[in-house]
Amino acid sequence: MTPEKIVRNFDRCSDWEERYLYLIELGECLPSYPNSKMIDQYLIEGCQSKVWLDLGYDPESRELTFLATSDAAIVKGLLALLRIAYHGKSPQEVLHFDTQAWFEVLELRSHLTPGRSQGLEAIVKKVQTTARSQLAGFPPPLI
């Protein structure tokens, strides 16, 4: 799945109710998140719902890894979108991907509560900080 395919799939939805259902479906496809990492160290502050995020970096492939979950179905769908945008991408690709423009094309901002938008922004910033740290040769900061 690619960000472009997500845009096409969103365009096929007749209304926002269908888009929400699609987001929920995407969230159900997230890889399983280990219970052992559902602890405060991985909890993202600033999110309306509980969100656990485990970001990593594979030095062999030079790609970021993105594993996340939430206690809210819509938020899990939003996490699935971010996984599509970031998982398996190099730090340079992460930093060059215009997440805000993608969200505008998907019309996400106008259909999310302010709390969800704020949480989504906190996650994007965390991923970008991790990517910058990798480019600078530092390990990712603790969450």
**Under 8 Å between Cβ of 44 and 119:** yes
How far apart, in whole angstroms, are the C-alpha atoms of residue 19 and residue 142? 34
According to DSSP, the residues that pair with 66 across neighbouring strands are 55
Is 29 catalytic? The answer is no
How far apart, in whole angstroms, are the C-alpha atoms of residue 124 and residue 141? 14
Catalytic residue from among 6, 23, 47, 81 = 47
How far apart, in whole angstroms, are the C-alpha atoms of residue 99 and residue 92? 14
- What residues act catalytically? 47
